[in-house]
Amino acid sequence: MKFTHMNVQGRGRMVEVSDKDITKRKALAHAQITMKKETFEKVREGQMKKGDVLSVAQVAGITGAKKTWDLIPMCHPLMLTGIDIEFEYDEKHNAIHIYATVSNEGKTGVEIEALTACSIAALTIYDMCKAVDKDMVISEIYLIEKSGGKSGHYRRGEDNE
């Protein structure tokens, strides 16, 4: 088996993509942060002492997507054309669902950028709320959908063969 991110000496390398076609690419990812009911209510009502938690998390998620190549060693620096972060309150589970959509026109996909955006947004929520709740749990980080590139369209839970 030949690994794409290993050179002939068995050491890591960034894959050569210059021969790949430029295509429109888009990825949608998800993360979840679960917290105590009191913390959830404070976030939802804008009562956290540090300020508007989701506004800060949104900007952090966008920044995270833009800096993915700095954080994940084998990722290429990409010219991202769009980043959007959305939040959904889940009252039943005292959780916030985070959705990140990232797009570009390029030679490599934006899945890791979308996953990074969700992760950084969740970590920022944790940071903004940790003074009142250290028991928060970040979970359910996964790719929902991606399009573009050689492998085409993928949607979680569908037969993607």
Is-contact 99 88, C-beta < 8 A?
A: yes
> Which superfamily is assigned to 35-153 in CATH?
Molybdopterin cofactor biosynthesis C (MoaC) domain (3.30.70.640)
Amino acid at 78: L
Per-residue pLDDT of the chain (161 residues; tens, 9 = 90+): 677 888 888 888 888 888 888 999 999 999 999 999 999 999 999 999 999 999 999 999 999 999 999 999 999 999 999 999 999 999 999 999 999 999 999 999 999 999 999 999 999 999 999 999 999 999 999 999 999 988 899 999 987 65
pLDDT of residue 6: 82
- Helices of type H across the chain: 37-44, 53-66, 68-71, 111-129
Specify the length of the chain in residues.
161
pLDDT of residue 134: 98
**Catalytic annotation, residues:** 127
Q: Output the CA–CA distances (angstroms, integers) from residue 96 to 63, 135, 142, in the order listed.
A: 20, 14, 15
Candidates 5, 20, 151; CA nearest to 74 is: 5
pLDDT of residue 10: 84
pLDDT of residue 1: 65
Burial 79-117 (b: 16+ CB within 10 A, else e): ebeebbbebeeeeeebbbbbbbbbbbebbbbbbbbbbbb
